């Protein structure tokens, strides 16, 4: 008789399939990228092979993973509230400890009355003229970054015994520019930009698809010969991307910071195999590489740290791993100037708030009820009876820290080192029972927290609008793309700061900003006006200048030459190109004949042939004693033909300059028949 079928809850399924340290149980393949990293090696230590279950083995017999090892951030956010609130019904890890160092009272102590006015420096003045978007992008991802990537990519290609890459910093900039442009004009597969049916010329004409693929294959950011294996001294999980990561971070730290900062987590979307992969429940991209970020209220990122997994952060000062992360991120913030920092309950502890206050950094943060350190407050039931908007506050006697419990739809706990509930204001909140907005009391600490906490989320939103979503299998390319997006967003926000300082209200949208940066990167090392060219033989019909009125020719200036006793002007032998001699006079004539027979030649080719005739005429004029019979007459005839080129303006600037030289050095009797007049 068949046994009864057992059903599992969602939580039990997560327990069965999730692995420690945030590793995935499925081996999801990434579509749209068949170019694998030749140097990519899977890490069995960080990713155990359990992608499939044995059919003969019951599900209950599979050992469960310890959820305490799964890096999961849980925020309980009520649908009607814009404030993160901890769920009192959710079991908290361990009892709430009572710390004898903290003494709580309802009356406000003298230590709570502090001067919280900002004493930091003002923003640096903006440039007299607003620079180009490319200039702002270069403030965060400068030339040295592209030079480093170019050198390391060439080295990596040689190490892998592949073809010589021979890339340059300019080509790497074009490569990055193409990636940025692909975020504006999106296609399901990046190869479609080069396919005949879906070809997109602004990308396809800059770089061939095979060259683009080669760069993607061999792009590298560090020398693999210096890599340390896991367990060796100096081992760095981010070794492959560390130099570029530190360069961009150092450039972010150069920006003059704002008064208010928020600390939160960002996610670099990634579902491949890597030990540092994390899962955060309420993020738009739940799986990926976690980045701890410090950003201003405007969304400008000032500092960040990529989380590499368990053991990456040590509890050196007894403030917990989360407290150590906060202290690392504020280490570059000027001390004693009343900069203000906001973060959520995952980071917060009373000890951390006191430590930051000693450093001269003021804080407001939500806090979990099991971290109150002996501060007893009214229960949720008591506050709910008092009505929506009820609150209670208590102060720590020595440090002046305040803890406020406010009841909205649920209870909210906040802690601060410089602000309390006063002044209490009225705010509009939605009532489910009455189906309308109602006025409720709101402590001032809640208003300040809600206004300043969203900086990291704002930066994340700006980056997600046009994120580089070409999905390679190599994790370090995802970090490189994150740094490019971060540099673009930071550059745009710095540009907006400068406009605000100049009291200009109109600004360039982020989309236009990215397009201009991409266009500038693509044109690096090329002419400003890229002439599109067809595949195959060029044609005069495709010349865009043939249908436009040409500008007037530049004025010619007579060149003075020293006079000699004979009354004639001579060119020195150095003025005549060494490649011309009477021995190749026949070659010049043959080349002109072949050009005339072909009937179709480009403007530059025709000008080059005429240039040879001009140089030969100079040679005839100064060395006519060696000239073959009739050569001088033939050369002068060629000079007469320049009249057509000059009148039709199909002559190059270099040839015009040579004409000026001819007019100066030919005898006066030979100038009259030319229609070129020197001015």
What is the secondary structure of 501-545 as a DSSP string?
Answer: HTT------HHHHHHHHHHHHHTTTS-SSPPP--SSS--GGG-GG
Domain end, chosen from 530, 553, 577, is at: 530
Site of tokens 């209490």: 424
In a shared domain, residues 437 and 353: yes
Site of tokens 């208003």: 447
In a shared domain, residues 475 and 430: no
d(C-alpha 353, C-alpha 419), whole Å: 12
Closest CA to 543 of 535, 529, 531, 553: 531
Structurally, how many domains does the chain consist of? 2
Domain end, chosen from 530, 560, 575, is at: 530
d(C-alpha 431, C-alpha 439), whole Å: 10
Cis peptide leading into residue 423 (ω within 30°): yes
Burial 582-598 (b: 16+ CB within 10 A, else e): eeebeebbeebeeeeee
553: left (phi over 0), alpha (psi -120 to 50) or beta: beta
In a shared domain, residues 353 and 442: yes
d(C-alpha 135, C-alpha 497), whole Å: 14
In a shared domain, residues 410 and 481: no
In this structure, are strands 339-343 and 260-269 parallel, antiparallel, or unpaired? parallel
* Residue 433 falls inside a structural domain: yes
pLDDT of residue 666: 46
pLDDT of residue 470: 82
In a shared domain, residues 430 and 499: no
In a shared domain, residues 357 and 430: yes
**Reduced to 3 states, what is the DSSP secondary structure of residue 343?**
strand
* Residue 383 falls inside a structural domain: yes
* Residue 282 falls inside a structural domain: no
Give the contacts of 291 (CB within 8 A, at least 6 positions apart): 265, 266, 267, 268, 304, 305, 306, 307, 482
d(C-alpha 509, C-alpha 400), whole Å: 44
In a shared domain, residues 349 and 415: yes
d(C-alpha 258, C-alpha 57), whole Å: 58
Beta bridge partners of 84: 77
d(C-alpha 174, C-alpha 523), whole Å: 7
In a shared domain, residues 442 and 476: no
In a shared domain, residues 490 and 423: no
pLDDT of residue 77: 36
* Residue 482 falls inside a structural domain: yes
pLDDT of residue 642: 57
The helix (H) or strand (E) run that includes residue 406 is strand 402-407
Burial 599-610 (b: 16+ CB within 10 A, else e): eebeeeebbbbb
d(C-alpha 676, C-alpha 679), whole Å: 10
Site of tokens 């793309």: 481
* Residue 353 falls inside a structural domain: yes
The dihedrals phi and psi of 286, each to the nearest 5 degrees, come to -75, -30
pLDDT of residue 295: 96
Distances (CA, A) of 403 to 234, 397, 445: 42, 12, 10
d(C-alpha 499, C-alpha 299), whole Å: 16
As given in the structure block, the two tokens for residue 575 are 């003025």
d(C-alpha 78, C-alpha 441), whole Å: 18
Site of tokens 């899962």: 279
Containing structural domain, residue 424? 345-451
In a shared domain, residues 145 and 224: yes
* CA angle, 645 then 648 then 651, to 5°: 45
pLDDT under 70: residue ranges of the chain: 1-100, 525-679
* Residue 312 falls inside a structural domain: no
Closest CA to 391 of 350, 423, 344: 423
pLDDT of residue 350: 93
* Residue 564 falls inside a structural domain: no
Report pTM: 0.65
Is 419 in contact with 444 (CB distance < 8 Å)?
yes
d(C-alpha 666, C-alpha 214), whole Å: 55
Residues 200-203: contacts with CB within 8 Å, 24+ apart?
201/532, 202/522, 203/178
Maximal C-alpha separation, the chain = 127
* Residue 501 falls inside a structural domain: yes
In a shared domain, residues 433 and 481: no
E strand spans, 143-259:
none
In a shared domain, residues 220 and 160: yes
As given in the structure block, the two tokens for residue 145 are 């970054």
pLDDT of residue 548: 53
d(C-alpha 439, C-alpha 433), whole Å: 14
Q: How far is CA 263 from the centre of its chain?
A: 20
Closest CA to 66 of 16, 25, 26, 27: 16
**Reduced to 3 states, what is the DSSP secondary structure of residue 206?**
coil
The helix (H) or strand (E) run that includes residue 619 is helix 603-622
């Amino acid at each position: 008789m068949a046994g009864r079928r057992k059903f599992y809850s969602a939580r039990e399924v997560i327990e069965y399939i999730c692995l420690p340290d945030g590793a995935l149980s499925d081996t999801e393949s990434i579509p749209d990228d068949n170019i694998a990293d030749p140097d990519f090696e899977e890490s069995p230590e960080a990713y155990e092979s359990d992608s499939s279950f044995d059919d003969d083995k019951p599900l209950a017999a599979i050992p469960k993973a310890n959820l305490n090892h799964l890096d999961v951030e849980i925020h309980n956010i009520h649908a009607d509230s814009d404030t993160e609130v901890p769920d009192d019904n959710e079991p908290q890890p361990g009892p709430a400890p009572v710390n004898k160092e903290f003494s709580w009272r309802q009356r406000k102590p003298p230590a709570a009355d502090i001067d919280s006015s900002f004493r930091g420096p003002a923003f640096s003045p903006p440039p007299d003229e607003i620079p180009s978007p490319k200039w702002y992008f270069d403030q965060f991802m400068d030339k040295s970054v592209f030079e480093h990537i170019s050198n390391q990519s060439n080295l990596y290609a040689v190490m892998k015994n592949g073809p010589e890459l021979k890339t340059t910093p300019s080509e790497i900039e074009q490569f990055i520019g193409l990636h940025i442009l692909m975020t504006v004009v999106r296609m399901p597969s990046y190869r479609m930009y080069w396919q005949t049916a879906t070809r997109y010329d602004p990308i396809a004409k800059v770089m061939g698809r095979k060259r683009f693929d080669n760069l993607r294959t061999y792009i590298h950011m560090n020398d693999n010969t210096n890599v340390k294996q896991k367990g060796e001294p100096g081992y760095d999980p981010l070794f492959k991307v560390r130099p570029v990561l530190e360069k961009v971070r150092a450039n972010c730290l150069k920006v003059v910071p704002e008064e208010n900062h928020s600390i939160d987590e960002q996610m670099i979307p990634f579902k491949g195999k890597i030990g540092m992969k994390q899962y955060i429940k309420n993020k738009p991209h739940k799986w990926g590489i976690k980045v701890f970020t410090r950003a201003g209220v405007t969304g400008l990122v000032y500092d960040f740290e990529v989380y590499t997994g368990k053991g990456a952060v040590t509890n050196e000062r007894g403030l917990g791993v989360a407290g150590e992360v906060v202290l690392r991120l504020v280490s570059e913030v000027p001390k004693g100037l009343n900069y203000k920092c906001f973060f959520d309950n995952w980071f917060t502890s009373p000890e951390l708030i006191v430590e930051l206050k000693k450093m001269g950094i003021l804080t407001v943060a939500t806090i979990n009820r099991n971290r109150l350190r002996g501060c007893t407050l009214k229960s949720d039931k008591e506050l709910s009876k008092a009505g929506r908007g009820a609150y209670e506050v208590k102060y720590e006697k020595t440090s002046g820290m305040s803890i406020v419990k406010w009841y909205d739809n649920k209870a909210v706990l906040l802690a601060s080192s410089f602000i309390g509930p006063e002044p209490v204001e009225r705010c509009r909140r939605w009532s489910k029972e009455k189906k309308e907005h109602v006025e409720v009391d709101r402590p001032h600490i809640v208003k300040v927290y809600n206004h300043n906490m969203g900086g990291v989320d704002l930066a994340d939103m700006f980056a997600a609008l046009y994120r580089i979503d070409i999905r390679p299998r190599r994790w370090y390319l995802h970090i490189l793309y994150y740094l490019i997006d971060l540099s673009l967003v930071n550059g745009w926000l710095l540009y907006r700061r400068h406009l605000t300082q100049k009291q200009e209200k109109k600004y360039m949208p982020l989309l236009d900003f990215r397009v201009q940066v991409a266009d500038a990167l693509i044109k690096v090392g090329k002419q400003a006006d890229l002439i599109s060219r067809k595949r195959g033989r060029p044609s005069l019909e495709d010349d865009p200048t043939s249908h436009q009125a040409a500008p007037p020719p530049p004025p010619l200036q007579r060149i003075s030459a020293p006079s000699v006793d004979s009354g004639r002007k001579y060119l020195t032998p150095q003025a005549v190109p060494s490649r011309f001699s009477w021995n190749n006079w026949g070659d010049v004539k043959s080349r002109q004949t072949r050009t005339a027979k072909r009937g179709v030649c480009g403007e530059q080719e025709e000008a080059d042939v005429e240039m040879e005739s001009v140089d030969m005429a100079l040679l005839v004029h100064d060395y006519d004693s060696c000239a073959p019979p009739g050569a001088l007459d033939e050369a002068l005839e060629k000079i007469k033909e320049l009249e057509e080129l000059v009148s039709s303006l199909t002559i190059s600037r270099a040839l015009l300059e040579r004409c000026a030289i001819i007019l100066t050095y030919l005898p006066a009797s030979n100038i009259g028949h030319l229609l070129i007049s020197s001015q």
